[in-house]
Structures are given as structure tokens and as C-alpha cells.
Structure 1
Amino acid sequence: MSKMSTEQESFALNGPTMGTRWSALFFARVGFDPTPVKTALQSAVDVVDAQMSTWKSNSDLMRLNAAPVGVWVKVPDHLRTVLHLGLEIGVASGGAFDIGMGDATTAWGFGPQSAASDRIRAAMTSARLPASEALEIDGHRLRKSAPITLDLNGIAKGYGVDCLADRLRAQGIMAGLVGIDGEMRALGLRPDGSPWSIAIEAPDDARRAPHSILALEDAAVATSGDYRHWVEVQGRRLSHTMDPARGAPLMAPPASVTVVAPNCATADAWATALMVLGPKTGAQLAKKHGLDALFLLRNDAGADTGIGVGRLFSEPPAAHASAKGK
């Protein structure tokens, strides 16, 4: 017996972006051609990468970085949106999230150049203004009021996930799961009415294993951790997350921080901010802003202990997080 036209099958698509890969999972009728959808999704992340990459010298972000102080620079829509959101969360986090840490990120070897001791010293000793004070936005124009090197690695992937979600909907697919390098956004529900299951990764650099499982509907999740991207200095492993107060990697960060929010750019930026703040101050600020956040900490035995904030990560944890995307 042939399958009915109302039956659905799953489609899993992926492609390269930002030095890693994007993914999309959705259901459509049997016989559906996913080729136009894949092309549209690849185009969406290509635009984000072209505007925000620090690895491409001709990106719009690098063009802005190269502009002299005081000169107005016109920027495209996506970049302006991310810069504006980054500045907002920078202020809301008390400067813990700062998009102006590009000099430190590059100096410590987390960009296209290797670490260099002279640039490290400069990043740690130079006076710096927070990005919210060093940047001025007027519509689609920006100018720097002080020397600053912008880096959007703490928010660009999350925004790319949001662009995947928007493009999926534009293709007429209203339910699905999209992601870039572990930053995920769920749209709607699965065909059987159940939420999308997403693993929170255990903070272990030796293997990939789930710490716990989230069930999400119309919500995004992002994790910042110390176990995937790091450098070793004098026998000590240092995370890629920068401390704006020092111009250097965090000295004693949580193993990871996971944040659930309506959109992935917001979740991505707040996960970075809470890593910088740590479990005590970070948990207090997460409560103040109504965030769902999970801090994973390593104890002396190497095991993980968790500190949860918000309805989703309360005790006992909620089984199903639902939030309206923006």
C-alpha cells in the first residue's frame, strides 16, 4: 500500500559556517524536496558570516574595526541588529558581556593569529572603555569615540541560529530544530505534539556526553564553557572567554553556563556574561533579569555540581520550557 500524502518524514540538513557546521531538523510530507530549503538556510548563515566574521578581512565587522576613531561607518542590517543587542546586554550585565574585547581575544590566540606576548601585555594594560561607551549608533551608522576592536564571537553564532529559524519559517516550515555548534533553537512542536529534546552537554573535553535533557517549545538554548576552546599557558589551561576587567581569559570560571531564552542571540550573550560573573553574582543577576540558567561547577573529585536559576532549572527541574520567540 502506498503512503498517504499526509504522512510526514524527517529531514536533517547541515552545512558549513563560522568554522563549524549548522544543522536543521524538520518534518515534511513524504517526497518533499529539501534542496531549496538547504540553499535558503546556507544563504542565511553565509550572510551572517560575511558581516560578522573576524576571520575574514573583508567582513563588515572588520571594515568597522579598521575605521578611524570619529568616522561614521554605514553597517548592514544584521550587523547593526547584533551590535545593538550586544550593547544592550553589555549594559544589563554590568559590562560582563563586552563586544569590545577583540584585541584581547586575538592577543591570546583565539582568532586568526597566534598568541603574542606583546599583544597580551597591551590587552591587559591598555585603558579601555566598555563598548557601550566607545560606540555610538545613529540608525545604520556607527562611529567609535575611542579605540576599540569589536568581536562578536559571543553572540554571532546565536544570531545565526535565529536567522536559520527565520529562514525556515520563510520556507513555510513552522516547526523544527536548528543549531550551530551546540547553540539551538526549537520552533513549535514535533508532529506528535511533543517538544524537541536537546541535550545539555557535560563539561568534559575528552568526550561528548549529555549532562541532562531539555524539552523545548519555541525557545532557544546556548551554552558557554571552558572545555572546548582553550589555550595552555605555563601549564595552566585557560578558557577562551575573556574577562573584560583584565583583558585576559577567566581565571576560575564555571565549567559551563547554559541559558534558555526566547531567541538564541540573547541566550548566547547571556551565557557568556554569566560565565564571566560566576555562579554567585551571575545567579543573582540571572534572577534579576528573569533568566533560566544552569551553572555547572567542577568539585575536587572532578564531578559536576549544578546551580539552577529560574523555572526551568529549579528543583525539581521543569520538564518542558516554553517561551515565545522574538
Structure 2
Amino acid sequence: MTQASIIDGKAFAEGLRGKVAELAAKFEPAAGRKAGLAVVLVGEDPASQVYVRSKGKQTVACGMASFEHKLPEDTTQDVLLALVDQLNADPLVDGILVQLPLPKHLDEQAVVDRISPSKDVDGLTPISTGRLALGLPGLVPCTPLGSLMLLKDRLGNLSGLNAVVIGRSILVGKPMAQLLLGENCTVTIAHSRTQDLPEVVRRADIVVAAVGRPEMVKADWIKPGATVIDVGINRLPPAEGSEKGRLVGDVDFADASTVAGAITPVPGGVGPMTIAVLLRNTIVAAHRNADLALAEDAI
């Protein structure tokens, strides 16, 4: 029985952060300032707090300025929008990321819409989304772009390959499909209403799973030799005598690894790429905002 190659997102992300740090070191003397990333956190969500803290540390480690804005749970829509306006106008800020999800009383889409497209390092504003759909240069959502980087590093030219994206969210599924179309793949977006989902997935040379259902994709769904990118992060209930449940993806890793040609693990696959690509997007935005040339395809 063959065993799939493991796609090491942790190692790739480390290399990407190294490239960002080199560019940041050159950017500072050329622009007369550091590239800057502002992260806005509303409320006390523990997972979001850990994520924001990690973003801040990695931003500073790459030689860029980190601006963290922590607001209370009961922050009003007007106060949050005013902060976004302030960051849009701040010449020291190149990227703005509002940590999602926001508390339920806030209108997430209105907040995202308020971010200047030139600082939209999460790639979620309507203008960023439209530019991606039109194949124009722009800032692209971090997780899909990181997934594409892993695919291209593993497979090289993706042109002509059949790709199935399981999930149609605006955060991953839809932008992932657009990126794969841009690489000349034949793309199918599958979702909860797709008929005979396993049969659809079996036709794919590339499978990207982003549905949030633990270990849903099994070995008999996978075409032998296919490349599998597992975007899902799900925590299973803790076993008896254990405090924490283990993290698993949307793909049954042990099962699918016996059929796939290459596969990302969870954790250690796509996850580390998300923050690394956020830093990449920030240095790209900084060069654009400072009107400095950058070979963006090189990072």
C-alpha cells in the first residue's frame, strides 16, 4: 500500500516569512518607515485573542510594525467604523485586518466594506473580490492563496488539471475556485446540495476541502494519486481522561493518505500558511502604497 507524501505547510510558511523579512528590511530605508499591519479585535473570544497575539508577534519578527486595537464586546458599529476610517487615513498603516467573527450586534459586511481596498490584506472587500474574479491584480484572501502556493510548490504547472473545491464560503471556497481558474484548472465547486458528492470528488486531480465537517472526506472519495488540501480545522470532543480533544481536518487523514499522492496534515498544513500569507499581503500592500516596485510573483 502506498502512502501519500506529506505537504509541510509549516516549513513552507517559515520560508515565506523569511522572504517577507528580507523585503521588509529593504522597504524600511526605501520608504523611510516600516511596513505596518493593524489588527482590530472586538470582544473576548479566546481563539481570536490567541490568533491576534500570534499575528502581532510574527509581524514584529518579520521587521514590520504591528498596531493592535482591542475593543470591548459592547463596542458600537459607529465606534468600530470610526476606527477603520482612522486606520484608512493613517500613512503608517499598510494593512488592516478586522478579526472575524465580530460580536453578533455588529454588521460584519459593513465593517469589511469600509476598509480601503489598498489596505485590505484579508482580500474580503467587494473591490478585492471583484478584482480576483476579473483576473486583475489585487489582495487575495490568505488561506486560499496559501493553499494555492502549496499546490504549485508540489505540482508545478496546474494547467488542465481537474480540481474540486468542497465548500462555497466567501472566505475560502469561492476565492479558491477563482485562483484555480486563474491557473487554468477545470474547477467544480461542491457543497451540501451537490448530488453524489463522493463521485464528484473522485474525478479530481486536486481536492480542496473546506466545509468544517470533521473527517468527512474518506479514502474511497479520492482518485489515486490526487493532491489533497485540507483547509478544515475541527476539534473533536476530548477522550476519557483527556482535557483537550484532538484537532482534525475535513479529510480523514489516515484513511485518505493510503490513496492520495500528496496531502496536507492538520495541524501543520494549511494553518501555518494563513498568517504567513497575511504578512506577505502586508508587504505587498506596503510597496504599492509607497509606490515602490516589487516582483509580487516572487513571493
TM-score tier (shorter): under 0.3
| TM-score of the aligned structures, taking structure 1 as reference length | 0.25
| TM-score of the aligned structures, taking structure 2 as reference length | 0.26
Is the helix fraction higher in 1 or 2?
2
Task: Specify which structure has the bigger relative contact order, considering alpha-carbon pairs within 8 angstroms and separated by 6 or more residues.
Answer: 2
Is the strand fraction higher in 1 or 2?
1
